[in-house]
Structure 1
Amino acid sequence: MERHEISTLAHRHHPVAAPLADASVGRLLERLAPPPGGRVLDLGCGGGAWLRSLLERRPDLTGVGVDLHPMGDPEAFTAATGGRGTLVAGDATTWEDGRFDAVLAVGVAHVFGGAAGTLEAARRHLAPRGRVLLGDGIWDVTPTEAALQALGAAPDEFPDLAGFLALCRDAGWEAVHGHVSTLEEWDEYEWSWTGSLTDWALEDGRDLQERDTALRAAADHRDAWVGGYRGVLGFATVVLVDGGEVSPGPSASV
């Protein structure tokens, strides 16, 4: 099984591929507030959960999600969004289709070489006065040796929250809203990730090789989480505007 296939199965019950509850997602999208009739891009969209949630709240918007391996059926996604949303199988680092009023980039920094590279990519797609929703890992506390080993990470792999915000500002962006995932949100995400994969593996009639691969992936992930980075690795999601164009938020509501 390929990595993207395991990820698709693991997110069956938590389609937002990040440790955020639905209420947190809703608040962030409300503050993102694309202008009426706006166009939205979701970079590294997975199954397009962020984009779909936004389009459900805002029937005036249209959007495109781009991922090398989109989760789910693109035709079903388009139908579910009333023809206003499209999932594209493509390389998010090179794909282009004009300018967008908002760019979503949550949990995809590894694709762009880090948060700074993600912001640089987002800027290339953004229309004037557009906004970016950026989500990436941070250290909630000083990383332990167990966490570093579990993640295969170096101490400078992630910044703390202050460092994350400084990184955004150094890249020319200002945060107008944000959310730091709670331990409860992390636990729900991790239990769902490992549990969804385990459930799938144990269903009747499963191919034995695929079963064993899925169970091993779930067990390895659970061990790394519980015995390594739980309570250490955090996740921050921020709404950003161009530092040269800071102004009161758009009046449109979600």
Structure 2
Amino acid sequence: MDRQTISRLAHAHHPIAAPVTDESVARLLARATAHTEAGRALDLGCGEAGWLIRALAAHPRWQAVGVDLDAAALTRARETAEAVGVERRLGLHHLEAAEFSAREPFDLVLSIGATHAFGGLLPTLAAAREHLAPGGQVLVGEAFWEREPTAAVLDGLGAARDDFADLATTTDRVIADGWTPVYGYVSSLQEWDDYEFSWTGSLARWALDHPDHPDAAAAREAADRHRAEWLHGYRGTLGFVTLLLRR
């Protein structure tokens, strides 16, 4: 079973692919869109476009574009947009986020939990800057170390110590790169727990509901492995921050 399919099944009951509740998403989007009644938003690595669809539903004069490599996720995004009634204001592109280009700049560029597509946080911000209109904002979500990771944590994540920094260092690097944080939100441990139990539970539920599917065993194995890596590894060590930035 490929990673995109696993992710799609795992996010069935938590479409925002980050440890952030619907209430937190709404608050972040309210801050990010408050500077203009009519604007354009771009999500680099949008998945099922949960952030964009919520923004469009709340702001009838906004338009949005989402970019992602997962064709099935984009199909789900179109279906959700149609159900909400915002499909005419949402454009979706199936390609590498780094390859996307547009004729007009955007008032808001998002990349939440998708910085790996550009090779890290600062390269993601560099890419976002290329799409940003004067006075526009970037909403970026990135992991950080809540505490020093052990070797077991790094092994479980398949990560290196330098893949992330602590919150202060992460913020300092963003500021040194020419950005000013105008808002930020650190996901709580409760949000992490809800996200991880939903992720592993949705995947395990699918495996139980489809015992004869050729991928059922692989799905169950992926859920069990992820749950163990979280509970016995990075729980309380890996944090997540969503920053609203301006130049």
TM-score interval, smaller chain: over 0.9
Looking at structure 2, the residues matched to 169 and 86 of structure 1 have their Cα atoms a distance apart, in angstroms, of: 31
Residue 77 of structure 1, CA deviation: 4.0
Query: For residue 66 of structure 1, what is the amino acid of its counterpart?
Result: V
| Aligned twin of 2:197 | 191
Looking at structure 1, the residues matched to 81 and 14 of structure 2 have their Cα atoms a distance apart, in angstroms, of: 20
Per-residue Cα deviation, 1:184-215 (whole angstroms, up to 9, x for no partner):
000000000000000111114641x3001100
Looking at structure 1, the residues matched to 80 and 130 of structure 2 have their Cα atoms a distance apart, in angstroms, of: 26
Residues 103 and 236 of structure 1: is their aligned pair in 2 closer, same or farther, counting only changes over 3 Å? same
Looking at structure 2, the residues matched to 155 and 82 of structure 1 have their Cα atoms a distance apart, in angstroms, of: 42
Structure 1 outlier segments of 4+, above 2 Å: none
Residues 94 and 72 of structure 1: is their aligned pair in 2 closer, same or farther, counting only changes over 3 Å? closer
| Aligned twin of 2:3 | 3
| Aligned twin of 1:237 | 242
Q: Which has the higher helix share?
A: 2
The answer to whether residue 58 in structure 2 is matched with residue 65 in structure 1 is: no
Looking at structure 2, the residues matched to 109 and 89 of structure 1 have their Cα atoms a distance apart, in angstroms, of: 17
Residues 97 and 187 of structure 1: is their aligned pair in 2 closer, same or farther, counting only changes over 3 Å? same
Residue 72 of structure 1, CA deviation: 4.8
Looking at structure 1, the residues matched to 81 and 195 of structure 2 have their Cα atoms a distance apart, in angstroms, of: 26
| Aligned twin of 1:116 | 122
Query: For residue 40 of structure 2, what is the amino acid of its counterpart?
Result: R
Gaps of 5+ in 2: none
Query: For residue 87 of structure 1, what is the amino acid of its counterpart?
Result: L
Give the conservation status (yes or no) of the 8 Å contact 2:210–2:216.
Answer: no
Gaps of 5+ in 1: 243-254
Residue 147 of structure 1, CA deviation: 1.2
| Aligned twin of 2:151 | 145
Q: Which has the higher contact order (CA 8 A, sep 6+)?
A: 1
Say which of 192, 217, 222 aligns to 2:222.
217
Give the conservation status (yes or no) of the 8 Å contact 1:78–1:87.
Answer: no
Residue 75 of structure 1, CA deviation: 3.6
Residue 156 of structure 1, CA deviation: 1.7
Aligned residues: 241
Looking at structure 2, the residues matched to 104 and 72 of structure 1 have their Cα atoms a distance apart, in angstroms, of: 16
| Aligned twin of 2:90 | 85
Query: For residue 4 of structure 1, what is the amino acid of its counterpart?
Result: Q
Identity level (%): 46
Looking at structure 2, the residues matched to 212 and 177 of structure 1 have their Cα atoms a distance apart, in angstroms, of: 43
Q: What is the TM-score of this pair, normalised by structure 1?
A: 0.91
| Aligned twin of 2:48 | 47
Looking at structure 2, the residues matched to 228 and 17 of structure 1 have their Cα atoms a distance apart, in angstroms, of: 20
Question: Comparing 45-54 with 137-146, which one deviates more in the overlay?
Answer: 137-146
Residue 183 of structure 1, CA deviation: 0.5
Q: What is the TM-score of this pair, normalised by structure 2?
A: 0.94
Looking at structure 1, the residues matched to 203 and 19 of structure 2 have their Cα atoms a distance apart, in angstroms, of: 17
Looking at structure 2, the residues matched to 185 and 75 of structure 1 have their Cα atoms a distance apart, in angstroms, of: 27
State the secondary structure of the residue aligned to 1:131: strand
Give the conservation status (yes or no) of the 8 Å contact 2:14–2:198.
Answer: yes
